[in-house]
A and B are shown apart, each in its own frame.
Chain A
Amino acid sequence: MDRLQHTDRTDDIIRNCMASNVPESKIVNRKIEQAYKQIRSMQSMPAAAKTTTDKMSGKNTIRRASAKPRRTSGKKTLSAKYAAAAALFLSTALIFVKNPALAAQIPFIGHIFKSLEQKVSYPGDYSENSVTLPALPAETTGGQEVQQTEQGTASTPWQAVAGGMTVTLSEVSYDSNAIYLALLIENENEFANNAQSSDMMYLECQADMYRADKTKETFCNESGNGLAYMTEGTFTDSHTFKGLVQLTGSGFSLSDYTGCDITFLNFVQELTSGTKVTGTLAGETETISYIEYDRKTYEGPWVFHLDFSDLQTTKQEVPVNQTNDQGFGIEKLVKTNYELYAVPIFPAGAQPGDYVVTIWDSDGNPLESHGDNLEIRSIYGRDVSSVTVYLLKWDDFVECKGNNSYRQPERAIFQATVDLAR
C-alpha cells in the first residue's frame, strides 16, 4: 500500500483544511479568463492554431492544434474499384482457426494481441478470445490465395497492399459493442524516424456495417461517428509497426449487424519537425507565430471484410430490479468478455445524464472505464464474481472519482451488491 494507513485527529484536521476553498483572487481570475479568451480566439482561426504565452521565456509561441490528424480536403471517396479489395471473406465463427502457413511466413501473426493487449489504453485478454483468421477456401480465389488490389499484390486473403505498404489483419476479437483488430503494418519504405510518438499512429477509418436485411450503416470521421482514430502498438523496426485498433462508439452494438467492410483510408505520423507560421489571431492585432508540425501520411485504402453473422458473443445478464424509495435503482448487470455495465432505473422526470453508475469489484476496488464510454467498465484482471454497483449524481461523481473514489459509497443515492458467479 502506498497510501499511509495511519489516520488520526491530525489527519482529519488536515483534510478539513485542505477541503476548504481558496479565496477568490481577481488577479488569478483575470489570467484564467485571458487564457480562455485566447482558446476561444484560436477556435476561430482558420488554421486552428493555438497560442501559448510563455511567461518563463518571455515570448509568444503558437503551435498547431492537436496531434490528431485532420482530413485533407479533396479526399478520395471510397469507390467501386476498391470493392475488389473488400472481397476478403473472413469466416469468423466461434471456432479458433489457425493458419500455420502465414504464421510461419510472418512471425508476429497470431501473436499480436498477446504482445500488446496489456499495453494499450483498453487492456483486455483479447488473445484468449481472438479469432485467428482463416485462409480463403481455394474456390473463393480461383485456386490462388492472392489478393490483387489496384496498387499492389497481397499474398494472403487478409492482407491488403497500397502505396508500398502492406497491412495484415492478424487477429480479430469481438465484444458486444466493439471489434478489436490486431494489425501488422509493413512499409517498403521506412517509417518516419522523427515522429512525435513511437507507440501509436493516427488513422482514418470507415466502417460500413451490414444488417441482416442487407441495409448498410456507415461510420466515419467525416460523419462525426467514426469508430476508431488511432492504432496503439509498437514499431518493431523502421519498416514495421504492429498495433491494435478498437472500433467502438456510443450506442454501437455488434448484434445489430452481420458483417462489415473496414476501410483504413490512411495512417498518419505527426512529426517533430515543422514550419514556423506567422499570423494574427481573430480580433487581435498582435502578430503571433506558431509551428505547423509536419505529418507523414500513408495513403490507402486497405480494405477488409468481416463476416460475423454466426457470431455469438458471450453475454451474461443478471437481473437486479431493485430501487430505493425515490425510484432510483438498477435493473440489471450485463457482463461481456471484456466489459461490465449496469442498466439503471430512474424515476419519472429524472435526467439519466445527471447520474453515473460505478461498479466495484469483489476486492472493493472501482472498475475503470473501458475505452471512451464512461459507464462501461473493464473487467480485465479483476475478480468480478461479486460486484457492488453505485448510482451517483453526476456532481457527486465528479468529486468522487479517481483517487477520491473511496467516497462513492457514502455519496451514492443507490447501491446494490450483485453475485455474478451464479
Chain B
Amino acid sequence: MELLVKRAMNGDGESFIQLMETYRESMLKVAWGFFSNQEDVADAMQQTILNAYEHIGELKKINYFKTWLIRILINNCTQLYNSQKPMADQEEATDQSYFDTYPGENSFFDLLSLLERKDRVIFQLYFGEEYTTREIGEFLGIKESTVRSRIHRGKEQIRKQIQREEWA
C-alpha cells in the first residue's frame, strides 16, 4: 500500500485510483454517516477524490494516508452538510427526525437509522473503522469526552431497540 501511496504522490493517477478503490467502502460508510440520500453521498465522494488527488503531494506521512483521506472526506461532508443546515435543523425540530429513510434494505442502514444524525459518523468511525475516541474527536473537532458520551448514548438507544424487538 505504501508503494501505491508513494506512486500516487509522484503523480501516478492509476495508483491513486487503486487507493481510492481500496478505501471506497470505508469512505462510503463515513459519507453515509452524514447523509441519507445518494446525491449528497455522491457529491461528497467525488469532491473528496478530486481534493485528495489535488493535494496528495502535501501528505506528510505515507502511513497516515487513510486517516488523511478520511479527514478530507469529513471536511467535505461537514461543509456540504452545513450548506444544507437550515433544512436539516428544521427536520431535527420534529420528533424522531433522525429516523431517515435510506435507499434499500441493509443492516448498515438499519443501524444508522436507529441513531441520531450527529452520532452516526461517530459510530462508523469507532465501530466500523476502529478509530480511537481521541482520533474521532480530532476528526470532528469535538472533545473526546463528547465522543465517548455519544457512543454510550447511541449504544443505549440500540440496546433498547434490540430489547424491544426481542420482547415483541
Residues on A lying within 8 angstroms of B by beta carbon are 2-4, 10-11, 13-23, 25, 27-28, 30-32, 34-36, 38-40, 42-43, 48, 50-56, 63, 65-68, 121, 196-197, 200, 368-369, 372-374, 398, 401-404, 406
A/B pair count, beta carbons within 8 Å: 168
**Contact in complex: A31, B58 (CB < 8 Å):** no
B-chain residues with CB within 8 Å of residue A28 when the two chains form the complex: 28, 38, 41-42, 45
A-chain residues with CB within 8 Å of residue B76 when the two chains form the complex: 56
Nearest CB in chain B to that of A403: its residue: B130
Complex-state Cα separation, A16 to B162, whole angstroms: 14
**Contact in complex: A18, B123 (CB < 8 Å):** yes
Q: How far is the CB of A102 from chain B (nearest CB, A)?
A: 31
Out of B49, B57, B128, which one reaches A35, CB within 8 Å? B49
The CB with the most chain B CB atoms within 10 A, among A25, A63, A67, A372, is that of A25
Q: A10-B159, A14-B155, A404-B130 are in contact. Are A374 and B47 (CB under 8 A)?
A: no
- Count of chain B residues with Cβ under 8 Å from any Cβ of A? 71
B interface SS class:
helix
Complex-state Cα separation, A50 to B39, whole angstroms: 24
- The answer to whether the Cβ of B96 comes within 8 Å of any Cβ in the partner chain is no
**Contact in complex: B83, A68 (CB < 8 Å):** no
Q: How far is the CB of A47 from chain B (nearest CB, A)?
A: 12
Complex-state Cα separation, A17 to B79, whole angstroms: 27
Residues on B lying within 8 angstroms of A by beta carbon are 1-3, 6, 9-11, 13-14, 16-17, 20, 22, 24-25, 28-29, 32, 38-39, 41-43, 45-47, 49-51, 53-54, 56-58, 60-63, 66-67, 76, 79-80, 83, 103-104, 106-111, 123-124, 127-135, 144, 148, 151-152, 155, 158-159, 162
B-chain residues with CB within 8 Å of residue A51 when the two chains form the complex: 50
**Can you spell out 24 A-B residue pairs with CB atoms less than 8 angstroms apart?**
A2-B134, A18-B123, A18-B124, A22-B28, A28-B28, A31-B43, A31-B46, A32-B46, A34-B46, A35-B50, A39-B17, A48-B11, A52-B51, A55-B43, A56-B83, A65-B57, A66-B10, A66-B56, A372-B3, A372-B62, A374-B2, A398-B22, A401-B1, A402-B67
**Contact in complex: A17, B43 (CB < 8 Å):** no
Out of B39, B54, B61, B104, which one reaches A121, CB within 8 Å? B61
**Contact in complex: A21, B2 (CB < 8 Å):** no
Q: How far is the CB of B155 from chain A (nearest CB, A)?
A: 5
**Contact in complex: A30, B42 (CB < 8 Å):** yes
Q: A18-B123, A27-B39, A55-B47 are in contact. Are A68 and B2 (CB under 8 A)?
A: no
